[in-house]
Structure 1
C-alpha cells in the first residue's frame, strides 16, 4: 500500500495533485506540453506511474485540472483584492491587474502560448464552464459602475466579452519592472475609456494587488 502523505487520505490526494501540477508546470516551461508525457510528469512529481491514474486518466485531463485549480485560486485572490473597494473604477482597475497576474501564471509554454489553447475543443468547453464566476465578477463591477453613472450605459452582453478579449490579447511583460507597469497602466486606461469612465478624474490610489496564491506553480 502506498505511503499516505499528510494526516488523511484527502490530504494525501490534495498534496499529490499539487505535486503533479508543479511537475507539469516545470516540464512545460522547459519544453512545452506536447512533448511531455504523463509518465514524465509522474516521475518528476515522485508519484508512481500507475498511481497517477488514480488522479487523472491522461495528461490533457491533468492540464485541465491544473488550469481550473489556478483559476479558482485566482478568483479567491481577486475577491480578497476587491473586498472593501466601493468605487467601480478602482474595482475595474483591480480586476485588470489581477487578470495580468493570471496571464503570467498561464504563460508557461515556450513562446508564451496560452495554456488554454493546448486543450482539445471539448476540454476548452469544459474549461469555459469554470469561467462563469470570473465573468460574474466583471458583470457585477460594470453593472455597479453604470448604475452609479461612472460608466456609460452599454449592453453587458457585448461589453463583457470585449473587455475580456482586450485583456486576454494584450501583451504584458511577465517580468516585474517599468515595462510591465507601463503596459498594465495603458491597459487600465484603455479599458476605462472603453466603458465610458472619465480617466482624467480617476486619481484614487489603488491598493497593492493581491498576488495569485502560490500553489501548483510555487
Structure 2
C-alpha cells in the first residue's frame, strides 16, 4: 500500500490533486491540450502512471476539475476584493482590474480549440464556471442600476458587452476600464 504524504487520506488526495493541477497548468502553458496525456500529467505531477486514475478518469476530467478549482479560487479572491467597497462604480473598477490582471492566468487559453474538443457533458460543466464569474458582474450591474449609478436597461446584454471589452487584451488596462465605466454611464474624469 502506498504511503500517504499527509496527516490523513483527504489531505493527501487534496495535495495530489494540487500537484496534478499544477502539472496541467504547466503542460497547457508549454503546448496544446491535445499534447497532454494522462501519462505526461502523472510524470509531471511526480505520481505513478496508474495512481493518477485514482483521482481522474481521463484528461477531460482533469480539465473540468482544474477549471472548477481555478474558478472557485478566482471567484473567492474577486469577492474578497469586492467586499472592500459598497459603491457600484468602485466595485466595477475592482472587477475590471481583477479580470484584466488575472484573466490571462485564469483563462489559460481555453479557447474554442480546447472547449470544442471536450465532450458535451464537460462543456456544460465548464460553462457553469463561466456563469459563476458572470454572476459576480451581474450582481455589480444590478446594484449599480438599482442605485441609479449605472444606466443599464438590459443586464444580460451589458454583461456580454463588458466581457467583450475585457477580452481586448492588446489595449492598456486603463483605457479598457474607462471604456467599461463610461459604457454603463459613469462619468470618468
With structure 2 as the length reference, what TM-score do the two structures score? 0.90
What displacement does 1:116 show? 4.6
Match status 1:5 vs 2:5: yes
Higher normalized contact order (CA 8 Å, seq sep 6+, divided by chain length): 1
Question: How far apart, CA to CA, are the structure 1 residues paired with 2:161 and 2:13?
Answer: 39
For residues 132-175 of structure 1, give each alpha carbon's deviation from its aligned partner in whole angstroms, at most 9, with x where no partner exists: 332222111111111222111311121112212222x2115xxx
In the TM superposition, what are the counterparts of 1:146-185 in structure 2 within 5 Å? 146-167=145-166, 169-172=167-170, 183-185=172-174
- 1:205 maps to none
Question: How far apart, CA to CA, are the structure 1 residues paired with 2:41 and 2:79?
Answer: 32
- 1:126 maps to 125
| Bigger share in helix | 2
Question: How far apart, CA to CA, are the structure 2 residues paired with 1:121 and 1:187?
Answer: 34
- 1:71 maps to 71
Aligned length: 185
- 1:88 maps to 88
Instruction: State the SS of the aligned residue for 1:48.
Output: coil
8 Å Cα contact 1:106-1:115 kept in structure 2: no
Question: How far apart, CA to CA, are the structure 2 residues paired with 1:131 and 1:35?
Answer: 24
What displacement does 1:28 show? 2.0
- 1:199 maps to 188
Instruction: State the SS of the aligned residue for 1:49.
Output: coil
For residues 108-150 of structure 1, give each alpha carbon's deviation from its aligned partner in whole angstroms, at most 9, with x where no partner exists: 4xxxxx2253132622221112333322221111111112221
Distance of aligned partners of 1:121 and 1:156 in 2 relative to their CA distance in 1, 3 Å threshold: farther
Instruction: State the SS of the aligned residue for 1:47.
Output: coil
8 Å Cα contact 1:23-1:41 kept in structure 2: yes
Question: How far apart, CA to CA, are the structure 2 residues paired with 1:192 and 1:121?
Answer: 37
- 1:115 maps to 110
Instruction: State the SS of the aligned residue for 2:176.
Output: helix
- 1:37 maps to 37
- 1:46 maps to 46
8 Å Cα contact 1:42-1:48 kept in structure 2: yes
Please provide the CA RMSD for this pair.
1.7
